Amino acid sequence: MFEAIDLARFQFAFVVSFHIIFPAFTIGLASYLAVLEGLWLWKKEDRYLNIFNYWLKIFAIAFGMGVVSGIVMSYQFGTNWSVFSDKTGPVLGPLMGYEVLSAFFLEAGFLGIMLFGMNKVGKQLHFFATLMVAFGTFFSAFWILSVNSWMHTPAGFSINEVGQFVPEDWIQIIFNPSFPYRLVHMLMAAYLTTAFVVGAVGAWHLLKNNKNLCARTMLSMAMWMAAIVAPLQLVAGDMHGLNTLEYQPAKIAAMEGHYETKKGAPLILFGIPDDDAMEINSIVEIPKLGSMILKHDFDAEIKGLRDFPADEIPPAEIIFWSFRIMVGIGMAMIALGLWSLFLRFKNLFYSTRLFHQICLLMGPAGFIAVIAGWVTTEVGRQPFTVYGVLRTVDSVSPIDAPAVATSLLVFIVIYFLVFGAGTYYIFKQFSINPEQDKDATKKVGSLGVSLKLFDKA
């Protein structure tokens, strides 16, 4: 039977996996909406307004589901992780408070204007509201990533007589050693996630009608994002990896599948990790490339898991594969972006059906990569909740396994009902032709409700 701590960990992993796909989508989508509205105001072309209205409805649904799924997570800190909450509260509580006061209030304050206010406040102020919502999503990511990064690379604190983390230097806490790398990596992942969803929807409508102007614009903008940001994400990921090697070397060893310490370590492309035997089988590797990537030296030494204390080793069997899923999808994104550049050069971008079909298949790629990356990061932090200082086993509430199992079942049922319905509606919206609202100039910011007074604004 499962113990309470195992069920509590699974429950948190379940709700986080559900939650993270919504912020990852809405962070990029909020910026996309701001770009679309800015292009419409600048170029006076209705296609940008059509696309803006099309994605505005989807943003509203995804934003709502993201808020609800995030609130549920906070309750679990009190039910299943009360010891963690008590010990880290003096540091993490204010950071989460800043996120609500600055970012969430900004988003919520301007969201209503963005969704319904164009006919009341005018074009320029409506555009400002859209920019504030986009900035709010970015600011929210700033605080959340600061909190999460502090749990990986804690700094600027002391521990009082009752075992609580007490803030000593807020600058060190907020801008802890892994924060800049984690923030950049996550924001790029969010923009790529949105780009591939937008690209897939554009490709879907192009497959039905190759002349669809809105679909052409959506696919083109998405593939520009893929061609430019996906290679930059590779660089950001490499820098994040070097930072992780410095502060969490056991996680890197698990990600790479290195159980033995080696000079001139290989890059293991494929293998089957065995944590019990502390070895990896059926290896496909490139000699010395692992040392080159991690330390920029073909003969550098990479510390293996066998040389870490046995009670500080993360489970390589999970991290090894989740890391490869994330990297594999990232490489596919780069390849698709480069292919799109080639097709543009050959003037075949809008006529190559195989390319459109693959863009459609890559629609959920960003979500899968984000979840795989999150698993790599968070499972790699084990067996600690605050790396090197507070263990997971010392963070859980004094709660019985049946109680956690019951709430877990309730979460699973409700999540699939509520978020299943929301996801169904989003897919229904995807199926609508983005060009069908020919009079969209009279509907901006109205979620489809006709605003005849808009022209007078």
SS (H, E, C) 357-410: HHHHHCCCHHHHHHHHHHHHHHHHCCCEEECCCEEHHHCCCCCCHHHHHHHHHH
When pLDDT is cut at 50, 70 and 90, the band that residue 449 belongs to is very low
- For range 301-323, the mean pLDDT: 93
Burial of 129 (0-12, 13-18, 19+ CB in 10 A): buried
Q: Is 34 helix (H, G, I), strand (E, B) or coil?
A: helix
- Examine the pLDDT at 128 and tell me if it is beyond 70: yes
Structure tokens at 94: 């204010």
Q: For residue 131, give the nearest of 110, 108, 115 by alpha carbon.
A: 110
pLDDT tens-place string over residues 130-166: 999 999 988 889 999 999 999 999 999 999 998 899 9
Whole-prediction pTM: 0.90
DSSP state of 268: E
What lies within 8 Å, CB to CB, of 450 at 6+ separation is: 439, 442, 443
- Examine the pLDDT at 196 and tell me if it is beyond 90: yes
pLDDT at site 437: 56
- For range 39-46, the mean pLDDT: 91
pLDDT at site 453: 35
- Answer yes or no: are the C-beta atoms of 167 and 344 closer than 8 Å: no
More confident residue, 21 or 359: 359
- What CA–CA distance (Å, rounded) separates 197 from 21? 12
- Answer yes or no: are the C-beta atoms of 218 and 201 closer than 8 Å: yes
What lies within 8 Å, CB to CB, of 192 at 6+ separation is: 28, 225, 226, 229, 230, 233, 333, 366, 369
pLDDT at site 380: 92
pLDDT at site 448: 47
pLDDT at site 91: 94
Q: Is 107 helix (H, G, I), strand (E, B) or coil?
A: helix
pLDDT tens-place string over residues 231-284: 999 999 999 999 999 999 999 999 999 999 989 899 999 999 999 999 999 889
Amino acid symbol at 266: P
- Examine the pLDDT at 424 and tell me if it is beyond 70: yes
pLDDT at site 85: 92
pLDDT at site 447: 52
Question: Mean pLDDT score of the chain, rounded to an integer?
Answer: 89
- Examine the pLDDT at 440 and tell me if it is beyond 80: no
- What CA–CA distance (Å, rounded) separates 38 from 50? 13
Q: For residue 302, give the nearest of 352, 257, 332, 356 by alpha carbon.
A: 257
Pairing of the two strands 262-263 and 267-274: unpaired
When pLDDT is cut at 50, 70 and 90, the band that residue 321 belongs to is very high
- Above pLDDT 70, what percent of the chain? 95
Helices (DSSP H) in 153-257: which residue ranges?
170-174, 179-208, 213-247, 249-256
pLDDT tens-place string over residues 361-394: 999 999 999 999 999 999 999 999 999 999 999 9
pLDDT tens-place string over residues 81-103: 999 999 999 999 999 888 888 88
Listed range (35-49, 260-274, 425-439) with the worst mean pLDDT? 425-439
pLDDT at site 23: 87
- Examine the pLDDT at 450 and tell me if it is beyond 80: no
More confident residue, 119 or 281: 281
In total, the chain counts a number of residues equal to 457
